A = this chain, B = another copy of it.
């Protein structure tokens, strides 16, 4: 039986193969359970084509390494994970992607991306019919994690589909386990690609 960190490491390698995490880009995290105050986040600067289960490190809800991991550098975007676990306490896995189509769609729709009428929209938890419009928030990119956190708080009510996009950067998706987080990210990525290609022709 694989552990969650082994399963998540395998997912990361497979997403690298899809082109969602070129070189050392992207970052990922999980918690052992929904009550835990320790977040395991990917270490900084790991080549995602070779990511292993022991390439995670513990941080607290402020993004500081926990005692067993003192002196190791977590991903620069660790605070984004911290804010999401705070917003959605049932969350146990957070995924990130630098996919081409998330970047292209964020250029075209810099505030909100809408999808309407696609069967696969039901892949987002809470969506029960294709006959609806789903809105995904797009947040500006920033190096300043405090500023970025403020933007996340300002759009918090728009995060109901368990994902958001960052301009010219990529996408985040999460869930109460790896299975659900994958479903949310793969649903989003599919919709971003089909929508981008659809409007090429209109």
Chain A positions within 8 Å of B, measured between CB atoms, are 14, 19, 22-25, 47, 49, 98, 100, 103-104, 107-108, 117-120, 123, 129-131, 141, 143, 166, 168-170, 179, 182-183, 186-187, 189-190, 193-194, 197-201
A201 to B170, CA, bound (A): 19
Find out whether the CB atom of B168 lies under 8 angstroms from the CB atom of A143: no
Find out whether the CB atom of A47 lies under 8 angstroms from the CB atom of B104: no
Find out whether the CB atom of A104 lies under 8 angstroms from the CB atom of B14: no
Find out whether the CB atom of B108 lies under 8 angstroms from the CB atom of A25: no
Find out whether the CB atom of A119 lies under 8 angstroms from the CB atom of B170: yes
* Main DSSP-derived SS at the A contact region: helix
Closest residue of B by beta carbon distance from A19: B190
Q: A168 touches which one: B22, B25, B98, B117 (CB < 8 A)?
A: B117
With a CB–CB cut-off of 8 A, which chain B residues contact A22?
A: 120, 123, 186-187, 189-190
Residue among A117, A120, A169 with the highest chain B CB neighbour number at 10 A: A120
Find out whether the CB atom of A100 lies under 8 angstroms from the CB atom of B197: yes
A129 to B143, CA, bound (A): 7
With a CB–CB cut-off of 8 A, which chain B residues contact A179?
A: 47
Find out whether the CB atom of B104 lies under 8 angstroms from the CB atom of A190: no
A183 to B25, CA, bound (A): 9
Find out whether the CB atom of B23 lies under 8 angstroms from the CB atom of A182: yes
With a CB–CB cut-off of 8 A, which chain B residues contact A201?
A: 104, 108, 199-200
Find out whether the CB atom of B169 lies under 8 angstroms from the CB atom of A119: yes
A120 to B47, CA, bound (A): 14
Find out whether the CB atom of A194 lies under 8 angstroms from the CB atom of B103: yes
Given contacts A100-B194, A118-B169, 5 further A-B contacts (CB under 8 A): A23-B182, A98-B120, A98-B190, A129-B143, A130-B141
